[in-house]
Amino acid sequence: MSYLSTTCPHCHVPHVSFQSVGQHVDLHNPLRVTVFFYCKHCHRGISVLVNRQGNLDLHVIDQDLARVINCKINDIQPKENGVLPEYLPEKISSLYQQADDNLRREHWDACGAMCRKILDLTAKEYSKKNKLQEKIDDMAERNLITQQLKEWSHVIRLDGNDASHDDFDQPTAESIFEFMHMFVLYMHTMPGMLKAKREQIEQPK
């Protein structure tokens, strides 16, 4: 069977070995082949689109697909990296990437903890209250966040605080990551976009 060494988009292990499990030949163009692989570390799959010359069976050959002569890898799905929101402060950006990485690696509790830390650091910039709960309520009372965003923030606060519990599972981690994503878009990305647009408009002609 063919194999491939690349970074896994699921578990993020670099140079991990993938083993082929099958292939699909394009009926309209037999030189285009999609080869399916599974990661030997996390056992999740990827698909690799290849242009070949001739009728070489790319699934059964005992070679590294990237080194097969007269074959060119055109695409690998899914992609390894997610999309990082723009205009995040350096510290928030680092924590966001850690949360995203932990979610992909299925480290649910670590993802939850990072989401809560993002919320906490952002709230400290806008409120002088002592506790995070008070900061969130204070921001909502001053119309710095919407009522819906206030409710989401409390979800992140409570679930992120409980991330060490045994019942902290995948749906919980995915939900609070989605909430956190909306939170940073509202608090950092949108203001950054507006500032950039305003500076562009105010530039002298």
DSSP summary character for residue 48:
E
Query: Alpha helix (H) ranges present in 5-146?
Result: 90-104, 108-126, 132-141
Q: What is the pLDDT averaged over residues 12-18?
A: 83
What is the DSSP annotation of 8-41? -TTT--TTEEEEEEEEEE-SS-TTEEEEEEEETT
Kindly report the pTM of this predicted structure.
Answer: 0.61
pLDDT digits (tens, 9 = 90+) for 117-175: 999 999 999 999 999 999 999 999 999 998 988 998 998 888 766 655 556 788 888 88
pLDDT at 5 over 70: yes
Question: Domain ranges in the chain?
Answer: 3-77, 90-202
pLDDT at 27 over 60: yes
Using CB atoms within 10 A of its CB, is residue 119 exposed (0-12), middle (13-18) or buried (19+)?
Answer: buried
For Cα atoms 64, 70, 73, give the angle at the middle one, nearest 5 degrees. 60
- What are phi and psi for residue 193, nearest 5 degrees? -65, -45
